[in-house]
Structure 1
């Protein structure tokens, strides 16, 4: 029996495909990073608008300067800042104002967000109404509430008088002026806090709430065990934003009380402005440095602590 010769050609060996060359445009690689020169415009703006003014402020805070003369005096401006009762009172008021406003914005914002994510009538309209004050000029709000809270004819005290209640001196009583401005600040800023909390609550999967409901959990238990822990990133954002805004607040205080009566509602920013008006440029620059350090020392640890907790979670 004869065998027929195979007419099929033997299979060719498959050689490994050559590596594709990594294409680079400038310093760009296929890993997705951008060329170094893409960062140059932003870096230049950062250096010119932030780094240079920051270091210049630190230098001029150590001098007695005017537009035509600079005299180096060391730490004398800082010594004066902490010795003057007016300046020290402004520093204390800054802490009070910042922590009160930020705390109330967190509590009220979370409560309103829980309410406005529930099945209530006119939810969209209420969300718009709460957010509207954020869009209004701070100076405009300050002037408006200065008129409304006027103790001798303002709408608030006039309305209280119709009910037989003697209204307090909101902006002229040294014991009430700072807190009166703080309440107006909370009224204006709680809208953005509510919006951030709403975004955080909406992002929580509804399956968690459905499972809790099937297990017999009440609304309070769902809030405490599901909403409150999972909304922590939004809480951290609101705390940081409101705390920075509260410690740096100036426009609303200046529009409503100009730091008065006396120095009872002065904060560091308004004290700095008054020192500039009086021509004490070195002292006011030292105040700017103090304010910068206060915000940095308080906010940076909070920022890193919150980020660390989110990574661990």
Structure 2
């Protein structure tokens, strides 16, 4: 009797597999056949990834071991790395890079979440306000840097003039060693907070309304809804904003170079601006070694960060 039941079960399974194949669905487990067409669909993306990322990365690692020009290269081993690590202002540049990344990513998280909560509320003109908040993301970074360099000029800039009307003495925001890096960081936040806000809006909108209704039924206030629903359940958005902003801060160059060129002196230099200065001086192998070191630093910091943050993911 047991053998008969087993045979009937096997026949039913075979019929199910045949039916799935006839309907165009992949057969399950033992009866499944892997076609070649899914892998062919990966080919265009794989080719683009290979040409744009893998090949230049491998070439960068090779040229970092050489002293090269456009037409010639000489293998020098680890000399470029040794010379780059002995740069006088590298310690300041590394410290500025970390501070810049932490400040910009932290402010983007706080402001992005605040604006996200505000712009998902019952505002009459929230569509227009969303566009206004996102607009700086679309503007060229170089244009933003030049504009704010004019606004932050000592005495004649709009910022100092406005402070003067309030009886506050202005200062040379970009020419003072104590304020130059922070000034650029705040401009970076102004430009990038729109993207963080959009990510938070998407995360908050995806939270089921039943959670908010449950808090309201229990007599919870707006603060309780934010504290117990929005804040924990928008963690995937927070995770994305932190990682993207932190990586962008570690690699920052364009705003720094446009607004301060690493000055005054070397006080607002970052690793990327130090690399560019070496490139400007014609030390191409040295600057390539700096790029490789920056790649290693970013990887060494971001991989553990994503692991730690990923363990806190909330599943709805």
Question: Do 2:155 and 2:171's aligned partners in 1 also have CA atoms closer than 8 Å?
Answer: no
**Aligned residue in 1 for 2:194:** 191
Task: Indicate yes or no: 2:30 matched with 1:47.
Answer: no
**Aligned residue in 1 for 2:163:** 160
Task: Indicate yes or no: 2:189 matched with 1:180.
Answer: no
CA distance in 1, matches of 2:35, 2:72: 52
Q: 1:33 to 1:160 in 2, by over 3 A?
A: farther
Question: Do 1:200 and 1:231's aligned partners in 2 also have CA atoms closer than 8 Å?
Answer: yes
Q: Which stretch has the larger CA shift, 249-258 or 35-44?
A: 35-44
**Aligned residue in 1 for 2:234:** 231
| Partner secondary structure for residue 207 of structure 2 | coil
Q: 1:33 to 1:190 in 2, by over 3 A?
A: farther
Q: 1:296 to 1:207 in 2, by over 3 A?
A: same
What pairs with 1:20-31 in structure 2 (closer than 5 Å)? 22=21
| Partner secondary structure for residue 313 of structure 2 | helix
Q: 1:297 to 1:259 in 2, by over 3 A?
A: same
Query: Which deviations, in whole Å up to 9, do the C-alpha atoms of 1:116-171 show, x marking residues without a partner?
Result: 22223432222221111111111111100000000131111011112221112110
Count of equivalent residues: 297
Q: Which stretch has the larger CA shift, 278-287 or 43-52?
A: 43-52
Question: Do 1:63 and 1:71's aligned partners in 2 also have CA atoms closer than 8 Å?
Answer: yes
CA distance in 2, matches of 1:239, 1:30: 42
Residue 305 of structure 1 deviates from its aligned partner by 3.9
**Aligned residue in 2 for 1:94:** 97
Q: 1:303 to 1:129 in 2, by over 3 A?
A: same
CA distance in 1, matches of 2:34, 2:307: 28
TM-score by length of 2: 0.86
Residue 178 of structure 1 deviates from its aligned partner by 0.5
CA distance in 2, matches of 1:233, 1:109: 13
Question: Do 1:81 and 1:88's aligned partners in 2 also have CA atoms closer than 8 Å?
Answer: no
TM-score by length of 1: 0.87
CA distance in 1, matches of 2:209, 2:65: 57
Counterpart pick for 1:206 among 194, 205, 209: 209
Gaps of 5+ in 1: 1-14
| Partner secondary structure for residue 67 of structure 2 | strand
CA distance in 2, matches of 1:221, 1:312: 20
Task: Indicate yes or no: 2:309 matched with 1:301.
Answer: no
Going by fraction, where is helix more abundant, 1 or 2?
2
Greater C-alpha radius of gyration: 1
Residue 45 of structure 1 deviates from its aligned partner by 2.3
Gaps of 5+ in 2: 1-10
Task: Indicate yes or no: 2:183 matched with 1:215.
Answer: no
CA distance in 2, matches of 1:144, 1:190: 18
CA distance in 2, matches of 1:218, 1:242: 31
**Aligned residue in 2 for 1:110:** 113
| Partner secondary structure for residue 85 of structure 1 | coil
Question: Do 1:146 and 1:256's aligned partners in 2 also have CA atoms closer than 8 Å?
Answer: yes
CA distance in 2, matches of 1:262, 1:48: 39
Counterpart pick for 2:292 among 289, 293, 306: 289
| Partner secondary structure for residue 103 of structure 2 | helix
Q: 1:202 to 1:40 in 2, by over 3 A?
A: closer
Question: Do 1:64 and 1:72's aligned partners in 2 also have CA atoms closer than 8 Å?
Answer: yes
Question: Do 2:236 and 2:314's aligned partners in 1 also have CA atoms closer than 8 Å?
Answer: no
